[in-house]
Chain A
Amino acid sequence: MTRFAASIAFALLTLCAGASAASAMTIEQIVSPSGIHAWLVREHAVPLVSLNYAFHGGSTQDDALKAGTAHFTADMLDEGAGDLDSKAYHSRLEQHAIEIGFQVGRDYFRGSLRTLNEHRDEAFDLLRIALTSPHFDADALERVRGQELAELRRETTNPNELASRSWWSTAFPGHPYGRESSGTLETMPRITADDLRDYVHRVFARKELTVSIVGDIDAETAGKLIDRAFAGLPANNNLKPVPTATPSNLGRRIVIDVNVPQAVVNFGGQGIARHDPDFMTAYIVNHILGGGSFSSRLYREVREKRGLAYGVSDQLVWFRRAAVVIGGTATRGDRTADALKVIESEIKRMAESGPTPAELDEAKAFIKGSYALSLDTSSKIAAQLTQIQIDDLGADYIQRRNSLIDAVTIEDAKRVAKRLYGGGLLVTVAGRPKGLTSGTE
């Protein structure tokens, strides 16, 4: 026991070391010759460049009848562009080991690029043509559509997908946040090449473009590369506004019948916006209840003590116009009701009494110390820089983060626990849970 105490003391003393790993990183705010702003972190140890960027306007820009348009566009950008057809484009990427990826979320279209230094001009050229002159040839369009429809058909019997889709569509009925970005079996067949072109023209612009670059590169070269990819884009985007929303149907439970041995449960409610002064407190309190470590209350009660599930966790999810807290677990049908009861009672207990001072201290220590580990590769750093820019937290956020965490008091934690978990839950269950039916509390 003595040894344990000593370890803890040692640990606390050196926490700052972990944090300094992150804060030692220097973010340079650069402007390209054409006027595009970007954040740069120089990293000389590995001869590569990682680019991460985002355009405002993700699946929220889809027409409801053509849900999946943004997602479909992302899957089509490398299927022929500029003077290269699909095969030639892919071949060029592989010849130079260039990795280019596109990803659609609700609010943003995000992209990443990774290249060895020696091929960086080629890499940024390939990115430029994908963003500015994608072909959307009929042949490739039907091939990729076929792949997406196959995936959507697979999902119709996948309990994870069923529980998740039901949760989001019930929480945000009629709102773009209620739709999965991958669309549906009904909407995907309606989407045309013109729809993809329309999305590209409305979203890919220098306005509301966020760029982060990490690698063995100086500011001048980085600026030139950024221009190589993005300078040719139109100045302005043309986005549909997205209304502010709060999750509805809290207090409801929906059971979706699917014949699987293990039922999948999603639960969640109103979250806290990223710019809300209580956000960091909420983040810490949520870590204590059901964050991803082996020490959360849900993990201990559901898994460790009762063996009800392999995994259980919850997290804060924030958008520009809404915020939720959402979690999940999966458990055999004859014990799903037990697992749900334990989860609901832990959430209620957290809302009523908040965390203990010891839990708060431990969570703060973890959240401060683990940040450095989340910034351990060039690609992860670049993605995090984009997130910090999107969330408008400022280039000094990494330096300020520890003091924001330290400032959270136990009173704050108790107040925010009530705010976060006191508002009722929407629960969706996909499977054959014994004794559970759809209904309202």
Chain B
Amino acid sequence: MIFRRDVVLTAAAAIAAALATPVFADEAANKVADFTLSNGLELIVIPDHRAPVITHMIWYKVGAADETPGKSGLAHFLEHLMFKGTAEHPAGQFSQVVARIGGQENAFTSSDYTAFFQRVPSEQLKTVMEFEADRMTGLQLTDDVVLPERDVILEEQNQRVRNNPPARLGEQIDAALFLNSPYGKPVIGWRHEMEGLTRDDAIGFYRRFYGPNNAAVVIAGDVDPQAALKLAEDTYGKVERRNAIMPRHRPQEPPPVAVRSLTLADPRVEEPSLQRDYLVPSFKTAAKGESEALEVLAHILGSGSNSRLYISLVVDQKLAVSAGSWYDSTAVDLSKFDVFGAPRPGVALPQLEAAIDAVIAQVADKGVTPEELTRSKTKLIADAVYAHDSQASMARWYGAAIATGATVGDVEHWPDRIRAVTAEQVQQAARQWLDKRRSVTGYLIKDTSPQVEKRS
């Protein structure tokens, strides 16, 4: 499985609220615990005793942005190969054990992290921790399994990108937006580089980045934090730290200076659309309050049927069939603020773009209303309460935050920070960050040129 940063991110913001919202019974018993083992592994325990099941996740602080140039797709390829067995447990054994206990498992990769998880009865926590600790250093790979799996990721790229024109546009926008940051590369990889990835590439990357001091384990569910700590010490605690793992200092973006635009024509496009991404701070890189203001701004501007973009473009002016925006606060380096729209038949993309510009300019010039501010904050914070209903969501949100440099405290205090956002901060965020010189606008249109048939 693979997630683009943007998909995971929005949720990560919502995460935090749940625990800090003082409406839950037995709050003290459900307090999130945070430990660090002597080998550097971080352990986060989110107690939830409603049912005797647990979600166990390990988050490696390495993703596509940490790949060597020329090896795009390697972090995600390794994620797939992590299921191919160790010296101790041949291929398929871990999955077989998880299946036998009725568990679920999977894994996913972003630009910043690679995560693996199992959801099992709580009695099985130690079993999955043993297996996961074993494959932290014990992975064994041969070409017999590596080569078919490379075909699998190429099919995954076909499915996610080549068969999907909007995804192709997204790749082009990222590549144009990030001038220097490795975030410009697709997580799945560029196909010509994926085709050349080898067993040695994967093992080299694994030895370089997988180790207890580059990982966080998140356990949500029916477990006592001290008991979880003991299990972690008995399993992960036995794995030696890898000394060579360096902090993530990736190439940084220069100040953006040019308004950029691009057009992707594809014969399969029946409905044109536009997408614009602005380069903006993530929670990690932002000044105090800035990231939260961007979250509220994204909500007011473009989340759902009450948003400025939807009301103005879809309902009132009738220029678009859809329009909206989102912001991704979870990234180690700079992040993205995304605005999108699809025109009604007969409306040209430049006309729609001008109308979007006008909506944004109005927020920047006139600000937002107290009613919009209150409603958006209520909704953002309530989403976090809803999130509390799902232990898997809780584990994922904490994990994504920790893996991109936030702390448990940052997550817990998120609702307070959202509550503190003022109308002035939202307006200021629009003025400062939604500057077209910080953006790339992409048009997706139908390619009407005659298609050359390839005959073989």
Contacts and interface: CB of A to CB of B under 8 A. Distances in A.
A376 interface: yes
B100 A377 contact: no
B268 A157 contact: yes
B119 A147 contact: no
A336 B147 CA distance: 18
A156 B270 CA distance: 8
A96 B119 CA distance: 32
A43 B306 CA distance: 31
Interface residues of B, number: 77
B357 interface: no
Interface string A314-337: 000000000000000011100000
Contact of B158 (A262, A305, A370): A262
B385 A18 contact: no
A14 B344 CA distance: 57
A239 interface: no
B234 to A, nearest CB: 14
A369 interface: yes
B73 to A, nearest CB: 13
Nearest to B344: A146
Interface string B383-394: 101101111100
A75 to B, nearest CB: 12
Contacts of A78: 305
Contacts of A294: 83, 95, 99, 105
Given A157-B268, A259-B268, A48 B100 contact: no
B378 interface: yes
Contact of A372 (B102, B159, B163): B102
B89 interface: yes
Contacts of A147: 321-322
B101 interface: yes
Contact of B271 (A43, A154, A372, A373): A154
B162 interface: yes
A303 interface: yes
Contacts of A143: 314-315, 318
Interface string A292-303: 011100000001
Contact of B305 (A90, A307, A373): A90
A48 B382 CA distance: 10
Interface stretch (A5-13, A203-211, A219-227): A5-13
A159 to B, nearest CB: 6
Given A154-B270, A331-B155, A97 B100 contact: no
B304 to A, nearest CB: 7
Given A46-B389, A259-B451, A366 B99 contact: yes
B270 A157 contact: yes
A15 interface: yes
A3 B130 CA distance: 10
Contact of B102 (A10, A150, A309, A373): A373
B389 A330 contact: no
A91 B75 CA distance: 43
Interface string B88-112: 1100110111011111110000000
Given A47-B385, A48-B385, A262 B51 contact: no
A260 B451 CA distance: 12
A72 B425 CA distance: 40
Contacts of B389: 46, 48, 377-379
A153 interface: yes
Given A332-B158, A365-B102, A372 B124 contact: no
Interface in A367-384: 367-373, 375-379
A294 B152 CA distance: 14
A376 B49 CA distance: 11
Contact of B382 (A7, A21, A97, A260): A97
A368 B378 contact: no
B158 A153 contact: no
A333 to B, nearest CB: 10
B321 A146 contact: yes
A414 interface: no
B238 interface: no
A8 B314 CA distance: 57
Contacts of A378: 389
A3 B134 CA distance: 12
Contacts of B267: 157, 259
B5 interface: no
B306 A376 contact: no
B437 interface: no
A21 B150 CA distance: 39
Contacts of B24: 45-47
B163 A330 contact: yes
Interface string A80-96: 00000011001100111
A11 to B, nearest CB: 4
Contacts of B127: 7, 10-11
B93 A150 contact: no
A294 B94 CA distance: 11
Contacts of B97: 4, 7-8, 11
A27 interface: no
Contacts of B155: 262, 307-310, 330-332
A20 B344 CA distance: 53
Contact of A3 (B88, B124, B270, B271): B88
B174 interface: no
A304 interface: yes
B158 A376 contact: no
A373 B101 contact: no
A406 interface: no
A376 B152 contact: no
Nearest to B453: A259
A261 B96 contact: no
A56 interface: no
A95 B378 contact: yes
Given A86-B315, A262-B159, A376-B51, A47 B103 contact: no
B118 to A, nearest CB: 10
Contact of A18 (B83, B93, B102, B311): B102
A11 B148 contact: no
Interface in A101-156: 114, 116, 143, 146-147, 150, 153-154, 156
A330 B151 contact: no
Nearest to A300: B92
A10 B122 CA distance: 12
A373 B119 CA distance: 7
B324 to A, nearest CB: 13
Nearest to A20: B52
Interface string B360-393: 0000000000000011001100110110111110
Interface in B267-314: 267-271, 304-306, 311, 314
A240 interface: no
From A46, A90, A143, residue with most partner B Cβ within 10 Å = A46
Contacts of B270: 153-154, 156-157
Interface string A263-277: 010000000000000
B321 A372 contact: no
A17 interface: yes
Interface in A345-388: 362, 365-373, 375-379
A366 B345 CA distance: 50
5 contacts: A20-B52, A47-B23, A259-B268, A261-B162, A366-B100
Query: What 10 A-B pairs are tightest by C-beta distance, nearest first?
Result: A369-B102, A307-B151, A97-B382, A307-B148, A262-B158, A370-B102, A157-B268, A18-B121, A310-B156, A11-B101
Given A47-B24, A154-B271, A310-B152, 19 more contacts: A7-B127, A12-B100, A17-B121, A20-B52, A46-B389, A48-B386, A143-B314, A156-B270, A157-B267, A260-B268, A261-B158, A262-B158, A295-B96, A305-B148, A307-B152, A307-B155, A369-B103, A372-B53, A372-B121
